[in-house]
Amino acid sequence: MIHVGIDLHQKESQICVIDERGEVLAERRVATRRDSLQQALAAWAGAQVLVEASNESEWVARHLEQCGYAVVVGDPNYTPMYGHRHKRYKTDRRDAAALAGASAQGLFRRAHRRSEERRRVRAELITRDALVRTRTRYISVMRARLRSEGWRLRSGEAESFVPRVGELALAPELRAQLQPLLRVLEHVNEELAVADRALARRAMVEPVVQRLRSVPQVGPITALAYVAALDDVRRFHSAHQVESYLGMVPRERSSGEHQVRGRITKTGDKHVRWLLVEAAWRLLRSRKASVEPLQAWATQLATRRGRRVAVVAMARRLAGILYAMWRDGADFDPRKLERRHEPAGVR
């Protein structure tokens, strides 16, 4: 069988083709485009292609699979995939050759590839997040401009920012300066409303999302983002594995009797991590009796470690609770909440 290793990059990629004995049949550099990749591999129809997971890997894998190749998207954190590669002699040519060799020897670990539906949901969530960040940035700029002229806005939601600015008796010059930003902000709010309605419709037809929303303060956006990030709950064996996957466990440097734990790793989907932290803040402020055990647990932790540490720990625990509900097909049950010991290095 012919094996192909492709070291993918945004503009150009390196290809290495070997046979079952490891003999190099071809090495070339091609543009990272559909037609160029297809043309470069045309002579080796049906070959197994190994690429490492990256921003470009999914569309490349889907395209080559449609062309009849057996494509493997490998986990880049799996060290044996690169054999004896030395960090001082790293080149694209060496990486492509190492990937081809790993394909021939089976020295790879498959990276999880999200389903088409989950990819679509995740893309919509990314678009919404970009709109939210744009609105936040514009509001910050206008608030600063108003403060510099001695104006203060009454408190309110971001959606009502434009009407609240309209209530102020601003000087014509200042209003003219803010008007372009206000027009853009109105358009962003309209697009956000459209995005929220579309995501709300998706949440209504997803049984898993509806179940996760039974947790107080977990809305449709948080539940959808969590489900899209994990994709398939069966690939995780424990809540701790999910917490680690989302980058919510503390870093650790241990050797012998010396153990040091620091801030959370922040690997994985940062958008989901941010949403869980926001949900944790809302849980701490909630007045619902069902979350009192969680609040008591977080309050004790905050007394020892500080409020921000407690919020991150609450977000991590929330990630585990959502995993258990999805795995067991159960709605939120506050009676199952128990105190859990938190690592000393949570930050």
Compute CA distances 186 → 63, 183, 190, 336, whole Å: 39, 5, 6, 44
Tell me: do 247 and 318 sit in the same domain: yes
* 221 within a domain of the structure (yes/no): no
DSSP 56: T
Tell me: do 94 and 139 sit in the same domain: no
Question: Where is the domain boundary, 105, 140, 171?
Answer: 105
Q: How far apart are CA 133 and CA 126, in angstroms?
A: 11
User: Mutual orientation of helices 270-285 and 292-305 as an angle, nearest 10°?
Assistant: 100
Give start and end residues of each alpha helix (H) in 116-171: 116-148, 161-166
**pTM of the predicted protein model:** 0.85
* 217 within a domain of the structure (yes/no): no
Question: Where is the domain boundary, 58, 76, 105?
Answer: 105
Structural domain including 44 reads 3-105
Q: What is the CATH number of the domain that holds 31?
A: 3.30.420.40
DSSP 110: B
* 289 within a domain of the structure (yes/no): yes
Question: Where is the domain boundary, 185, 205, 225?
Answer: 205
DSSP 122: H
Q: Tens-digit pLDDT profile for the chain (347 aa)?
A: 999 999 999 999 999 999 989 999 999 999 999 999 999 999 999 999 999 999 999 999 999 999 999 999 999 888 788 766 666 678 899 999 999 999 999 999 999 999 999 999 999 999 999 999 999 999 999 999 999 999 999 999 999 999 999 999 999 999 999 999 999 999 999 999 999 999 999 999 999 999 999 999 999 999 999 999 999 999 999 999 999 999 999 887 766 666 667 788 888 899 999 999 999 999 999 988 888 888 999 999 999 999 999 999 999 999 999 999 999 999 998 887 754 544 444 44
Tell me: do 8 and 101 sit in the same domain: yes
CA angle 266, 267, 272 (to 5 degrees): 80
Domain tally for the chain? 3
* 290 within a domain of the structure (yes/no): yes
